[in-house]
Amino acid sequence: MTSSIFNLRFDRRKLLKGTAALGALQVASPFIIQARGETPIKIGMVDPLTGVYAAPAGNEVMGAKLAVEQINAKGGMLGRQVELLVEDSANDVGTGVQKARKLIERDQVNFIIGDVNSGIAAAIAQVTAEKKILHIVSGGHTDSITGKDCKWNVFRVCNTTRMEANSVSNVLFSKYGKKWHFITPDYAFGHTLYDACTDDLKKLGGTVTGNELTPLGTTDFSAYLIKARAASPDVLILLVQGSDMINCLKQVVQFGLNKQIHVAGTQQELESLAALPPEARVGVWMFEWYWKQPGVPGVEKFVADIRKVNNGNVPTARHWFGYTSAMSFALVANKEKTTDAVKLAAALENFELPDDVKLQPNKVYYRKGDHQLMTSAFVGEAQSKGKDDPEDLYRVDEVVPGDKTAPAVSETGCTIQWPA
């Protein structure tokens, strides 16, 4: 045994053969690539695959991968194959920026998608603007990305915090009452969302009974909930997200608060509802996309395609974000027959998504002026158990088009500076 290993390592003939093969490979490889056409077009994706946003980030990547597979099956982009390069931002701004630079400088990607975290998304946008790379923010919601910090090369698929607030404010006010108490995560996303909600509430004539600012990653919400109940509001609005949402909602229900005060909020996600025990799936919310849309073209096929790669589970809004981001690049590039970022960015303005990509009833397009996707809000209520499917944890009451939820471009604070 030992001797055969020894022979393997030092056999002169094998070594020669190996060297010859290696040489042949080097000569042959350019030929193979030429025969296949040109080098692939690369899409780089930066998302927090580790850390607290790992679940939504993983789903966005899964959606983008599906899109790339479908693009390639239909002949690719400009006749070239598309390759998706994924990097982990580890939910850290510095790491995210570094990974984006690596994708652009070393891997020479043509497009960038990312990030779930608003702060990282905004920082990456600085890099992509500097490097003149077309960039779609898949899942970071803070207003400024398509607001005062908007850029010619940056487009966004998910909603802004204003759009989220506007989609549910009226319903909550008219149905549940005018005294609202907020549980707000103490960082950029939470603050902008809170401002948006309270602006709406003021316009409607309601009052804020209090705002509990909770640090990101809070595990125990009892102290805040004690305060909230003492203020006796009509509605308790939870603006927290991810694991904070799960912890908070779980405790709200264990305390029985949902039986005394209406529990609601803006953005809710299937990832969070799925992680909650059935009794804690309560409240009125908005989803940014929902998998169960009977009769809407393309949705059933998309759900079936994701189930194949997702252990049989249905797609969430995050899957759709990733999918739509990658698809948008291919659609616009194939239409314009170029990969030039400036030309494509101009072409994406007012670009309307086709049925098999938008996967929702209303008109969906990237708005000229702020580059925000005018995508619908799925307003409805969480349900503890699905009737036909265990993952049907949400009942959609209304699909509000993006045009109705988004403030006018003039109110966003965005002025796009195109490169000279």
Partner 1 sequence: MMTQLLLFNVTNGLIIGAFYVLMALGLSLILNLSNVINFAHGGFLVIGGYIAYTITPYIGFWGALLLAPPLTAIIGLAVERVLIRPLYGRDPLYSLLLTFGLAFMIEDGTRFIWGPQGKPVTIPAFLAQPLSNDLFFITGYRLFMVVVVMIAVALLFLLLRYTRLGVRIRAGTLDLETVAALGINVGMLRSLNFAVGIFLAGLSGVLAAGQLGLEPTMGTGLLMPSFIAIIVGGIGSLPGTLVGGLLIGVASGVTAVFFPAASEAVIYVMMAVILLTRPRGLFGEEGMMS
* Chain residues that interact with partner 1, rule: CB under 8 A: 50-52, 54-55, 57-58, 186, 212-215, 217-220, 222-227, 229-230, 243, 246-247, 250-251, 253-257, 271-272, 274-279
Place of tokens 């109110």: 411
In sequence order, what DSSP letters do the residues of 156-187 get, joined into one string? Answer: E-SPPHHHHHHHHHHHHHHHH-SEEEEEEESS
Distance between CA atoms of 54 and 387, rounded to whole angstroms?
29
Q: Kindly state the smallest distance separating residue 410's Cβ from partner 1, in Å.
A: 33
Q: With respect to partner 1, which residue has the nearer C-beta, 246 or 374? A: 246
Q: With respect to partner 1, which residue has the nearer C-beta, 214 or 375? A: 214
Q: With respect to partner 1, which residue has the nearer C-beta, 143 or 271? A: 271
Q: Kindly state the smallest distance separating residue 41's Cβ from partner 1, in Å.
A: 29
Q: Kindly state the smallest distance separating residue 278's Cβ from partner 1, in Å.
A: 7
Q: Kindly state the smallest distance separating residue 142's Cβ from partner 1, in Å.
A: 19
Q: Kindly state the smallest distance separating residue 223's Cβ from partner 1, in Å.
A: 3
Residue 204: which residues within 8 A CB-CB, separation 6 or more?
A: 169, 170, 173, 178
List the beta bridge partners of residue 267.
286
Q: Kindly state the smallest distance separating residue 96's Cβ from partner 1, in Å.
A: 18
Q: How many helices (H) and strands (E) does the chain have?
A: 16, 12
Q: With respect to partner 1, which residue has the nearer C-beta, 242 or 402? A: 242
Q: With respect to partner 1, which residue has the nearer C-beta, 156 or 318? A: 318
Cα-based distances in Å from 247 to 35, 37, 57, 193, 250: 55, 52, 20, 19, 5
Query: Which uninterrupted H or E stretch holds 120?
Result: helix 118-131
Q: How many residues does the chain have?
A: 420
Q: With respect to partner 1, which residue has the nearer C-beta, 123 or 255? A: 255
**CA angle, corner 139, sides to 341 and 237, nearest 5?**
145
Q: Which two tokens stand for residue 342?
A: 């400036």
